[in-house]
Structure 1
Amino acid sequence: MKVLLHRREDRGMRLAEFASRCVRRGEVHELVTTDHRETAAGSVIDRVGFLGFIEIGNAGVLDRGDRVVVGDTVVGTVLGFDACHFPNHYNILIRTERTCTGPELGLAPGQYVLFEQ
């Protein structure tokens, strides 16, 4: 994990139309927290906190509503995906009560990230 420490109130991410995305082993994706609740395709996501980049260890499918756990911390649930940087990486948007950053959650390189149905 590459830990990120910034937040934005005007990010302008757009929620992708897909409620799930396949990920492959070795891909790198970004984890982003948001307090937005809207799930309609194209919804603008402005309030965000950046957790960091992760490398996918096992291929699978990530779904809206999957619980996101980093180490022993339940971060939130997958709200959806922003593809503004794709094919480089997806922004995996995580619904939280308030935006938070990697250091605020005590995240550190080497921690495991788990997505649970």
Structure 2
Amino acid sequence: MKENGPKREVDGVLVKVLLHRRDERGMSLEPHASRCVRRGEVHELVTTDHRETEAGARIDRVGFLGFAEISCAGVLDRGDEFWLGDTLIGTVLGFDACHFPNHYNILITRADVVTGADLGLTPELPVSFRPA
């Protein structure tokens, strides 16, 4: 039985750039494969080379990109593409809620761990989550 139909792209803008990385961060993957986000919320963007999707999977190797303000409400799903401007950065692995309800850590999986400094990010750069 098919559960999911089409959905809108979720857009936003980078509001703060982060420059650090960790090899023993100990984030914990939420059991939920999707999360709703509201217009005006701010969430943290984190890269990882981990691929595990089991609930509670430990995520240690991370690079911090920054914080983004959501411009339109929507649903983020595991597997969505994450774009910074015109550049595909990776795909949504899942969510860590260690700082919730302040914000989610949105975990973006890719081949290598990068930070905001590595990518030369600046505030006001457009971000988008696009259906895979």
Name the TM-score class by shorter chain. over 0.9
1:3 is aligned to 2:54: no
Runs of 4+ in 1 over 3 A off after TM superposition: none
Distance 1:112 1:84 in 2: 25
Higher alpha-carbon Rg: 2
1:105 corresponds, among 90, 97, 119, to 119
TM-score by length of 2: 0.87
- 1:35-114 alignment, distance < 5 Å: 35-114=49-128
Percent sequence identity is 71
Structure 1: segments with no counterpart, 5+ residues = none
Deviation at 1:107, TM superposition (A): 1.3
Distance 2:86 2:116 in 1: 14
Give SS of 1:55's match. Answer: strand
Structure 2: segments with no counterpart, 5+ residues = 1-13
Give SS of 2:118's match. Answer: helix
What's the RMSD between the two structures over aligned residues?
0.5
Deviation at 1:74, TM superposition (A): 0.7
Aligned length: 117
